[in-house]
Amino acid sequence: MKQWKRGKPFSPGAIIRILERDNKQCVYCGSPAWMVDHVIPRRDNGPPITSNGVAVCHRCNIRKGARMREKYLVPAILHLMNCKEDVRWMDTHYGDSEAKEKRPGGG
């Protein structure tokens, strides 16, 4: 059985910055958001940095779960890029070629 190390949660300050940056709106559906989601999940060692966090509503957070689903990954990364967040760290997280395939505009 494969064991994984869970990444760290966001700091209270990072949560506030992410919610303010995203105007407390869920980046997936536009509903009011009071939670922050790791774009690259904690279970996949997604770091607790603002360029890996988006505001989400409870419903979307539950639906996405701790998985990387393209349905959620692409809009989240596009949102982060539109907010001028530096997402280049994802290249090293995925490995150069895989990250470029998954990242919008990559490949």
The Cα-based distances of 5 to 8, 37, 44 in angstroms read 9, 18, 8
Residue 72 lies in a domain: yes
What is this structure's pTM?
A: 0.78
Split into its structural domains, the chain has a count of 1
Residue 74 lies in a domain: yes
Residue 2 lies in a domain: no
Q: Which pLDDT tens digit goes with each residue over 42-101?
A: 888 889 999 999 999 999 999 988 777 788 889 999 999 999 999 988 887 665 444 445
Residue 80 lies in a domain: yes
Quote the CA–CA distance of 20 and 15 in Å, as a whole number.
9
Quote the CA–CA distance of 14 and 53 in Å, as a whole number.
9
Can you give the pLDDT at residue 46? 87
Can you give the pLDDT at residue 94? 62
Quote the CA–CA distance of 58 and 93 in Å, as a whole number.
27
Residue 65 lies in a domain: yes
Residue 66 lies in a domain: yes
Angle at 103 between CA 46 and CA 82, to 5 degrees: 90
- The confidence band for 4, taking pLDDT boundaries of 50, 70 and 90, is very low
Q: For residue 95, what are the domain limits?
A: 12-102
Can you give the pLDDT at residue 24? 98
Residue 63 lies in a domain: yes
